[in-house]
Amino acid sequence: MTNNAENDALVLVDNAFGKLPDHILIEIFIRVPVSEWAQISCVKKQWANLFRGECLWHAALNRTYPFAGQAKRWPGPIPRGLSRRRYTALYVSKQIFALDGEIDEIVGHTYLFLKEQLELSTMPPPSGILHGTIIDQFIACGKSRDAAHELASQIWLTVLDNLEENEHTFLLLKRLAQEGDVFLPYPYTKSIKVQWRVFEKLFTDFRDCFNHVDYYDVLACAKNKFQPIPSAWLGY
């Protein structure tokens, strides 16, 4: 009897929600924690369509980030996108970078841009082009050269730390490590911290992925860039 009662209650709830118009459902969903949105979108096709559409994300953007609509024009090479993209960028800025006193949409967009280029592309552009695009975006949006370089470095380090540990990432890091050095004026040179992190991840997180030849090729690149290198990197 208990199971039947529970099933009847679920049917009643489903019927009640099924009769609600989309704009009411949107007002309900945007008040639910973001961590539950993926699960909610899997319940019904109607709800999935709401999360794929623009109206829900526009409402969520206005509710969660009410000052985002007052943002100035958006110059630079990285597109701003529609409400869903903007909401994601602002969420990244707050949750991943924990910016104090300011939710900087630019940081979120550049993080998403770099992570997608590195993770989703089978042959990403050279890192110098990606880094230059990020620098140009920050400068176009009014950041100083020093601020642009510091923010770009922070984004590179965060993206590298959040890449999935799989074969694609190993091949990507190996390619970044073996890229030839190209002289570029400041702030278009990647920081030494970013270059170091690439090798550090290869020799720690992906050590078991190397074959004998690849290991010594990457180790030679590391020795050309850094002296001395950590003893933890040695020993195939």
Q: How distant is the alpha carbon of residue 188 from its chain centre?
A: 21
d(CA 212, CA 218): 10
The pLDDT of residue 10 is 45
Tokens of residue 23, six digits: 């704009």
Mean pLDDT of 207-214: 94
On the question of pLDDT at 11 being above 50, the answer is: yes
Query: Residue 70, exposed/middle/buried by CB under 10 A (0-12, 13-18, 19+)?
Result: exposed
96: phi then psi, degrees, rounded to nearest 5: -90, -45
Report pTM.
0.87
- Tell me the torsion sign for CA atoms 136, 84, 156, 199: negative
Average pLDDT, the chain: 88
43 DSSP assignment: T
Band the pLDDT of 196: cuts 50, 70, 90. Answer: very high
- Check: CB of residue 176 under 8 Å from CB of residue 129: no
Long-range contact pairs involving 111-119 (C-beta distance under 8 Å, separation at least 24): 111/155, 111/158, 111/159, 112/85, 112/88, 113/78, 114/155, 114/156, 114/159, 115/159, 115/162, 115/163, 118/159, 118/163, 118/172, 119/163, 119/164, 119/168, 119/169
Per-residue pLDDT tens digits for 103-116 = 688 999 999 999 99
On the question of pLDDT at 3 being above 70, the answer is: no
Per-residue pLDDT tens digits for 27-40 = 999 999 999 999 99
The pLDDT of residue 217 is 95
Tokens of residue 54, six digits: 């623009």
CB atoms within 10 A of CB 201: 20
Greatest Cα-to-Cα distance within the chain, rounded to the nearest angstrom: 76
DSSP element (H, E) containing 135 = helix 127-140
Per-residue pLDDT tens digits for 65-110 = 988 766 667 899 999 999 999 999 999 999 999 876 556 889 999 9
**Most confident listed range (12-16, 72-76, 97-101, 224-228):** 224-228
